[in-house]
Amino acid sequence: MRRLTPFDPADAPEKSAELLNDIISRRGGVGEMVATMAHSPALLQGYLDFSRAMKRVKLPRALSEKISLAVQEWIGCGLCLQAHAEAGRAAGLSETDIALARQGTSTDAREAALIAMAVRVLAEPSSITDEDVAELRAHGWSDRVVAELVGVVTLNLMTGAFNLLAGLEPAEA
């Protein structure tokens, strides 16, 4: 059940209208989540800036989608799960890859360690130890990737929590 309604740029607060019109001029339209975030110009600006910044992470796109699937499975956002499954397929993930990611793992041990850590960053960050970070390094993950993992998790928490609060759901098939 939708709790917040999306804005048409003409009806959005001034700053949000500027942001929405900029996106429309570059991409031809905005998605339902972005149009709904327009209720808060600060949230919309923050989301857009953070999302752009996270596109520059060192993680391969397919692995980033696996992480997003694992995190969104935990959060429970159906709209995000659908979007990340589609993005994952576009990045070359198989249905098995998607299913395993939703379970918080991968057939690749190196990826599985990073995906599992992503879920811990979301669900129980205070439990992370020096040994856990050392294990990620032993799998060959750089400190940059370990740091960026927090950003990928945080962006997913923001979008998933927003969609759930706003009542945005996947379209019926």
Would you place residue 129 in the very low, low, confident or very high pLDDT band (cuts 50, 70, 90)? very high
- Provide the pLDDT for residue 173: 56
Whether 51 shows a pLDDT value over 90: the answer reads yes
- Provide the pLDDT for residue 171: 83
- pTM here? 0.95
- Provide the pLDDT for residue 7: 95
- Provide the pLDDT for residue 1: 85
Look at the block and give the residue holding tokens 């960053």. Answer: 121
Q: Which two tokens stand for residue 51?
A: 């999302």
Delimit the domains of the chain by residue range. Answer: 9-54, 61-166
SS3 136: helix
61-166 folds as AhpD-like (1.20.1290)
Kindly state the percentage of the chain with pLDDT values over 70. Answer: 99
